[in-house]
């Protein structure tokens, strides 16, 4: 009986190691196939590809071209002429119904994920939400300011409450500073807590 329990624990421990690796590899593979699929289909129409070696070569080459293109756009975005050109393109995108909303939503999400010059989230807090006595994990984004601060005498703090297990969606609440409980965990640890649904708790014994 003890050996069976030990085997079960070993199996679960193995799953916790193997599944994240397999899941990450699968996601990266799907992204790779999606990114290189367009170029591959065009090349295949011009010249049918019938060997595995050519398939891999075309896909790797198309990925390299995409990376080079992204680097070129990034270079343009960092100089005056390029910024002007991109601002014109952005103005065109703003005039296209539906597309403009999707464009700005995706752009904001990506900026939040890969921001280099500033931290999107300042620190992790507990806040009584949605009612007193029930606590939610939140991330402070900024100090309350502007009209929302002027309309109330409270010292407000902007707090983002993410949803589980998808932290890219959630809601913004403005909380008086005195009602926040600041946590010592890092932003990454706070995100793990949210994404895991509370199963990965920083500081808890494993």
**Residue 155 is assigned to a structural domain of this protein:** yes
Question: To which H or E segment does residue 140 belong?
Answer: strand 135-143
User: Which of 82, 79, 32 lies closest to 58 in space, CA to CA?
Assistant: 32
Are 49 and 98 in a shared domain?
no
How many domains does one find in the chain? 3
The total of other beta-carbon atoms located within 10 Å of residue 124's CB is 24
pTM of the model: 0.48
Are 107 and 43 in a shared domain?
no
- The two structure tokens encoding residue 142: 């900024």
Are 107 and 128 in a shared domain?
no
Confidence of residue 130 (pLDDT cuts 50, 70, 90): very high
**Residue 38 is assigned to a structural domain of this protein:** yes
**Residue 80 is assigned to a structural domain of this protein:** no
Are 128 and 189 in a shared domain?
yes
Are 11 and 48 in a shared domain?
yes
Is pLDDT above 60 for 8? yes
**Residue 190 is assigned to a structural domain of this protein:** yes
**Residue 81 is assigned to a structural domain of this protein:** no
C-alpha span between 173 and 144 (Å, rounded): 10
C-alpha span between 174 and 157 (Å, rounded): 6
Q: Report the interhelical angle of 80-94 vs 99-114 (nearest 10°).
A: 140
What average pLDDT does the structure give for the chain?
A: 81
Q: What is the pLDDT of residues 24-48, one digit of tens each?
A: 888 878 888 887 887 778 777 887 7
Question: To which H or E segment does residue 142 belong?
Answer: strand 135-143
Q: What is the DSSP letter of 86?
A: H
**Domain hosting residue 104, numbered range:** 87-114
Are 95 and 127 in a shared domain?
no
CA distances from 155 to 121, 142, 150, 176 (A): 19, 12, 10, 5
Are 58 and 27 in a shared domain?
yes
Q: 31-40, 113-122, 126-135, 143-152 — which one is most confidently predicted on average?
A: 126-135
**Residue 205 is assigned to a structural domain of this protein:** no
Q: What confidence score (pLDDT) does residue 138 get?
A: 95
């Amino acid at each position: 009986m003890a050996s069976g329990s030990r085997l079960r624990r070993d199996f679960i421990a193995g799953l916790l190691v193997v599944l994240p690796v397999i899941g990450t590899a699968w996601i990266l593979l799907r992204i790779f196939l999606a990114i290189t699929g367009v170029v591959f289909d065009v090349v295949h129409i011009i010249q049918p590809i019938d060997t595995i070696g050519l398939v891999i070569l075309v896909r790797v080459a198309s990925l390299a071209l995409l990376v080079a293109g992204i680097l070129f756009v990034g270079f343009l975005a960092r100089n005056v002429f390029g910024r002007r050109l991109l601002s014109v393109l952005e103005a065109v995108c703003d005039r296209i119904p539906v597309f403009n909303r999707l464009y700005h939503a995706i752009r904001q999400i990506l900026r939040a994920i890969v921001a280099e010059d500033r931290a999107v989230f300042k620190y992790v807090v507990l806040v009584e939400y949605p009612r007193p006595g029930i606590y939610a994990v939140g991330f402070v984004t900024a100090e309350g300011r502007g009209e929302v601060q002027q309309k109330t005498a409270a010292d407000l703090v902007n707090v983002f409450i993410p949803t589980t297990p998808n932290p890219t969606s959630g809601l913004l609440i403005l909380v008086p500073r005195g009602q926040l409980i600041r946590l010592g965990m890092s932003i990454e640890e706070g995100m793990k807590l949210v994404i895991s649904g509370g199963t990965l708790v920083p500081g808890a014994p494993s």
